[in-house]
Structure 1
Amino acid sequence: MDPMSKLVVFTGGTAGLGLAALGKLIENAPTNFEATPRFNYEVYIGARSTSDGALQAHFEGVRQSSPSPLEVKAHLLPLDLASLDSIERFAQDVLSNIVKPNKKIDILVLNAGIVVRNVRKTVKLPDNREFESTLFVNTLSQAVLLKRLLHVMADDGRIVLVGSEKHKVPAKTVVAPSTIEDLLSGGKWEGRNAYGLSKLVQMHLFFILKDEINRRWPSEGNKPSVVAISPGFVPETKLAREWPWILQLIGRYVLTLFPFTTPLPVAANTILRGMVDTTLSSGTYLGRTGAIAPLEECNDPTKRDEWRSWFVELGFWKTGADVN
């Protein structure tokens, strides 16, 4: 690997928002924010399918339409975020074959997510524990990857969690480690609500991660930064891939005409900004027009401690004496 290249690890980069964001990276177009100096990028994308012909053809099309001196090489690695074994293998693959003593992860983007429509699904772990699938894929899988990969982030690296303003929707309900299982149980489960709950827990994870970075890199010098993204309502994403095809077509070609939606290129540019804007402070929650406020409870240190303990008890996080 070229020592002057930036090493990027990316989930959810083969379709929708992630693919569009990587296309923006390849375009190397002028931006309205202060980006890092122009580097080449070596991008490793976790995906369920590792057949990369369509991906490479898409990127080549971007290169031809927007010629750039910047070189972006993309590689696919097998990753199924609904399988703990697959997540662990992906992380080990990154640690064993991609990260080197002189080359750590410069940018880690956790973008993949799902919305389950009307049938509650679960993810079963090797120890026979089961978790509601939206929560596991959208949040718990990210905790596992961060647990495994945080120690190999570059000192000036950037971690991007793609969240959602939907994390504010469940605010009328008491959401806590003691209630989350019941809220996602069969009798109360509803797909869109499950998505909002998963994004609320993810936002707690975001601030837990910020604290953990400060704990592991205590000096005032370079340390990794973490940014959360609210891309807006983007009907062209693949989040609704389980919905009937007619609803997907309506989302893609009708809803995009309404002003309350966010065009895919605009949302992709917000993710790109989260990846490369050097002026963003760690802990920034970024929307299309700039920094926005998360749900107030996410700033509550007592609640954060509760969620941190929950992640640790599940085995999906480590902190203090347990790190490295």
Structure 2
Amino acid sequence: MTVTPPAFPTARPRRTRQSAAIRGLVRENTLSTDDLIWPIFVRDGEGVEEPVPSMPGVVRRSVDKIVEAAREAADLGIPAICLFPYTDPALKTEDCAEAWNPNNLSNRATRAIKVAVPEIAVMTDVALDPYNINGHDGFVVDGQILNDETVEALVKQALSQAEAGADIIGPSDMMDGRIGAIRDALETNGHSDVMLLSYAAKYASAFYGPFRDAVGASGALKGDKTTYQMDPANSDEALRLVARDISEGADMVMVKPGMPYLDICRRVKDRFGVPTYAYQVSGEYAMIMGAAQNGWIDGDKAMVESLMAFKRAGCDGILTYFAPAVARKLNAR
């Protein structure tokens, strides 16, 4: 039903904005620690916290420090962390075999977290780029990214992560058919409770640069990822990809990047009603932090406002590097 509001002065919309108490009563969306997934970077070594220059405040952590970060997250009420490995360049190969090594960085970190902080959910990334000498998410032959052969490798990678104890697996590669193949393999191998959070609508974006620095993929990447990541001009295609991934067994879906694609978040949530997430990617984070450090914006207010935008767009949760900072702010209320 459409209701026509009365004219001024009978209607005074400012009445519901006159105090913090009243604004709280009529607020349409809320942000809580339950909405947060914290992406963190793991590297080799012990006792290491190595700053990522292009992401102020973000560090690469050795496995022991990753465990400390997981404890911090759990204590703050953050329900999940997501692991991304910074792989030794000597382990990067054309066959990407380190991706499914049971003792690779991601799997070692997962096992350590599940022993020390079992209450927190661990999400892992399925894609070959951290292990690929070419920097791509799939196998490269004569300049072409091979789809079906890559999917076979992604299945092996996903199984190794499930066996290490991952609760949520996030295929971020954008190969066709990978959700169905991974779901079938998980079911067949006794991992039916492992969830798939599909990067269903992942765009070929300029906002990923600092992340590629963080995982050591920038120098390795040859060419770009436009043959498998989505064209930023497309919207209907995103809905087709989300529908496909849901039909193949995705439990949750993601839009990436975040703020430039709030319209996609809204369309996905309205159309499918499934758990919908967005990734506030490295470039988004770096822009806010860079502007805040220069005194151009209020960093804390921009952080909260940016995250509330995802909730307003229909997201059930957000992957964000701001997770611990915003959790501390929310817990202080």
Higher relative contact order, chain-length normalized (CA < 8 Å, sep 6+): 1
State whether TM-score is above 0.5: no
User: Which one has a bigger Cα radius of gyration?
Assistant: 2
Normalising to structure 1: TM-score of the pair?
0.37
